[in-house]
Structure 1
Amino acid sequence: MHQTDIRYTKLRWLLTLVGLLLYIVDIWTDVGLSIKFLLDGRYICSALIFSFILAGLLVTQIFSHAWYEDDLEDPLVNPRGQSTVLGMSKGKLVVFHLCGAGIFTRYYHLLKSGFKVLWLLGGSLNEEERKEAHHRLFCQATDLSMLKLFEAFLESAPQLLVQIYIVQDRGEASVVQYFSMVFSCCNIAWALVDYRRCLRRSLPNIQEMPSGLPTAVYLFYKLFTFSSHILSFSLLLLLTPYCVIALVAILWVLGTMWSHVLRTNFCSTKRHEMVYRVVVGFILTFTFFNVKGQNTRIVMTIYYSLYLLINLTSPLLLAFLKPEVRTAMFFLVISGVIFACSVLGLVFLVLFYLYLHPKAKRREADEVDGIAKQTEATGRMNNFLRP
């Protein structure tokens, strides 16, 4: 589908609203779980959950504010050189982000702009105005989806690991824990698929992500590989927390170093670029992303070979060093799930990239239909993580 055919539909607007509600529920269940642990006297668990919430919140505010600042300086986004962006002054931007409302601000403006374009203006826009308005909506959605991706892997993923460990260690869980784990899984799944679809739709020279079977296969590939990895880490936690801390630290450092080696140029300032590389390193601890939009067949092969090694070694190591768990039902079930999800994840990965991945690029931009202007305006999106 060409850029000229892409529309920000009413269904897409409604799904954005669903994403906002899912995000709110996920945050509140995690906060509620942290408070419950605190009241139960489990101070370390409470502090861990709360620290993950703060980490996700802090990083998303940093990048959200930086991108708004970049938009103010971008002559394509702000051709008149106005001192406001989306009606917000620099001072108001700082206040909103200091209050942790960066993502909510972006949701508000995306829903407001989308409602205006889709319901109020309707057919009053000519073809050129319609293309520009819908492309602008997808650019806003892509910025938001990238922030949600950061939040999902900095907050939802690690606290999900902690909760799975607690359930395994104690053999029971509260209703709040179950709700928190369910919504964390949903938040991660939503963030992965929404990010991929929004990013590919916002870049004119990249073919969009087809809906239906390709999206489903991609979702299964990510969910199965992510789930098996989280469960393998949880088994290592049962062995000793220090083992997982060391392993995650090593993988985090390797991912961060890889970002340095590739010399990512995502941010407009060096300090933000350093934060970005550290965040990318942490995301790579849980799942694979193309860091710089290059051919990654070899890198992906190395990554998933290491992934498979960790997943297969974790149950064996626990069984060898803790013989008493060998006949435990939870150990047998989780080991089976890890093996099944690892195999299924890699099968869906191969199926997706061999048969369903949109390889062909769209036609080159030209001045006649205005796509060249849109391509230049995508700016930082060309440097976003590629799914």
Structure 2
Amino acid sequence: IQYTKLRWCLTIAGLLLYVGDIGTDIGLAVRYFQKGDSVWAGLTLAFALAGLLVTQIFSYAWYEDDRNDPVMSAVGKPTVSGLSKGRLAVLHLSGMGIFSRYYLLLKKGFKVLWTSPHSNAAAERNDADHCLFCMATDLSMLKLFETFLESVPQLLLQLYILLAHGGSSVLQYLSMAFSFFNIAWSLVDYRRCLRRSLPRIAAMPSGLPTAIYLLYKFCTITSHILSYTLLLALSPYSSIGLTVLWLLGTTWTHVLQTDFCSSPKLEPLYRAVIGVILTFTFFNVKGQDAMVPMTIYYLFYFFVNVTAPLLLGLLKPEWQTDPFLLTVSGVIFGGSVLGLCFLVLYYGFLHPKETQRQADEVDGVDVVVKPTRATRRRNNFLQP
């Protein structure tokens, strides 16, 4: 599978979405501060900084893994991707780690696709394409972290402010729009890149399977965010319930004994981030058979989505005839049903099956290729 020019252009689109998402959030935080809404300003800025901080930590750790990986190169080489350790540290301390990865991916992609697209032998081109997909996968994994630490909570917060406190602005709608599109893009991009970077997993076909997967995630996540919004509108103390759900997700990830990080010190942070992700949607945490936990998860998901509008209507009778509540309730119920239908359709008929990794042979002797740290982290990451 080749890394195409369209794929390169879509990377630029993803970068623009990322910049727009962060930029509108910062602008919105400034606007709240100017209006004297210090709580909303603080929360808006906190979510933006949380996603930024976590992605910088993991990005730097992965660069260090690659630099010190004996399978990839000599241990402790002075640079990785042409960047020295000191320069990498400065980039990540200044919050530019993600941008450095975008720059390196676009630079290498431009060289392969436009500078010398026909000069490489087939084997060299395959290696170059695989390298590009691996770079894109690392970037998409970081973007997935950023999405669920920043874009999803930001969307929930702005919807809550809009519903429970009234008042709106163009910037607020822009922030929600960028968050929404950033969520959709990161989910599909991560799935496609991850599958193409791992030989044991069949690539995700374009067209209908991609569309159905996106609709499944879009419907389930959107309806869940709206349900949480209604619960928060019912009582801000519902945030305690969200915290409990995060703790349950984090605890379950700990029970599964994930082995994602090369450094044991980073594993608790990874598990905490996965706990946040599981608060909003389901992923296969350890690449094992997930039919039972997925079923339990979505039964609870459906229960929450049905209960939230009912509780708000019963405990706050003045909302019962509110057109907005009726509309949101319809979207929640419709999104829940459609999301579950798309889930069954996708995993029942369209989900790519795993393929067995073929052993390399040299003169009739099987060669076991030792995986790099980069390959291990992609193997041990959340599986779609």
Smaller-chain TM-score bracket: over 0.9
Aligned equivalents of 2:188 and 2:360: distance in 1? 30
* Partner in structure 2 of residue 3 of structure 1: none
The counterpart of 1:98, out of the listed 93, 116, 119, is 93
For structure 1, the 5+ residue unaligned runs are 1-5
Are the equivalent residues in 2 in contact too, given 1:204–1:365 (CA < 8 A)? no
* Partner in structure 2 of residue 296 of structure 1: 290
* Partner in structure 2 of residue 334 of structure 1: 328
* Partner in structure 1 of residue 215 of structure 2: 220
* Partner in structure 2 of residue 86 of structure 1: 81
1:94 maps to a residue whose letter is A
Matched, 1:12 2:18: no
* Partner in structure 2 of residue 313 of structure 1: 307
CA RMSD of aligned residues (A): 1.7
Are the equivalent residues in 2 in contact too, given 1:204–1:371 (CA < 8 A)? no
Which structure is higher in helix share? 1
Aligned equivalents of 1:55 and 1:105: distance in 2? 19
* Partner in structure 1 of residue 109 of structure 2: 114
* Partner in structure 1 of residue 351 of structure 2: 357
Q: 1:290 to 1:184 in 2, by over 3 A?
A: same
In the TM superposition, what is the alpha-carbon distance from 1:128 to its structure 2 partner?
1.8
Deviation by residue 1:89-110 (Cα, 9 ceiling, x = unmatched): 1111111000000100000000
Matched, 1:33 2:28: yes
Q: 1:371 to 1:188 in 2, by over 3 A?
A: farther
Are the equivalent residues in 2 in contact too, given 1:229–1:307 (CA < 8 A)? yes
For structure 2, the 5+ residue unaligned runs are none
Are the equivalent residues in 1 in contact too, given 2:69–2:75 (CA < 8 A)? no
* Partner in structure 2 of residue 283 of structure 1: 277
Aligned equivalents of 2:158 and 2:75: distance in 1? 50
Q: 1:374 to 1:211 in 2, by over 3 A?
A: farther
In the TM superposition, what is the alpha-carbon distance from 1:375 to its structure 2 partner?
6.0
Q: 1:11 to 1:18 in 2, by over 3 A?
A: same
Aligned equivalents of 2:361 and 2:90: distance in 1? 40
Q: 1:363 to 1:63 in 2, by over 3 A?
A: closer
Deviation by residue 1:38-75 (Cα, 9 ceiling, x = unmatched): 11111100100000011000000000000000001112
Matched, 1:252 2:270: no
* Partner in structure 2 of residue 385 of structure 1: 382
Q: Determine helix, strand or coil for the equivalent of 1:124.
A: coil
Are the equivalent residues in 1 in contact too, given 2:68–2:75 (CA < 8 A)? no
Q: Which stretches of structure 1, 4 residues or longer, exceed 6 Å deviation after superposition?
A: none
Aligned equivalents of 1:303 and 1:197: distance in 2? 24
Aligned equivalents of 2:264 and 2:232: distance in 1? 36
Larger mean Cα displacement after TM superposition, 85-94 or 370-379: 370-379
Deviation by residue 1:291-327 (Cα, 9 ceiling, x = unmatched): 1100100000000011111111101111111111001
For these two proteins, the number of residue pairs brought into alignment is 381
* Partner in structure 2 of residue 264 of structure 1: 258
Q: 1:279 to 1:360 in 2, by over 3 A?
A: closer
The counterpart of 1:124, out of the listed 119, 125, 129, is 119
Q: Scaled by the length of structure 1, what TM-score is found?
A: 0.95
In the TM superposition, what is the alpha-carbon distance from 1:236 to its structure 2 partner?
0.7
Q: Scaled by the length of structure 2, what TM-score is found?
A: 0.96
Aligned equivalents of 2:121 and 2:144: distance in 1? 34
Q: 1:268 to 1:80 in 2, by over 3 A?
A: closer
2:272 maps to a residue whose letter is V
1:383 maps to a residue whose letter is N
2:381 maps to a residue whose letter is F
Deviation by residue 1:166-192 (Cα, 9 ceiling, x = unmatched): 111244410001111011000000000
Amino-acid identity (%) = 61
Q: 1:29 to 1:72 in 2, by over 3 A?
A: same
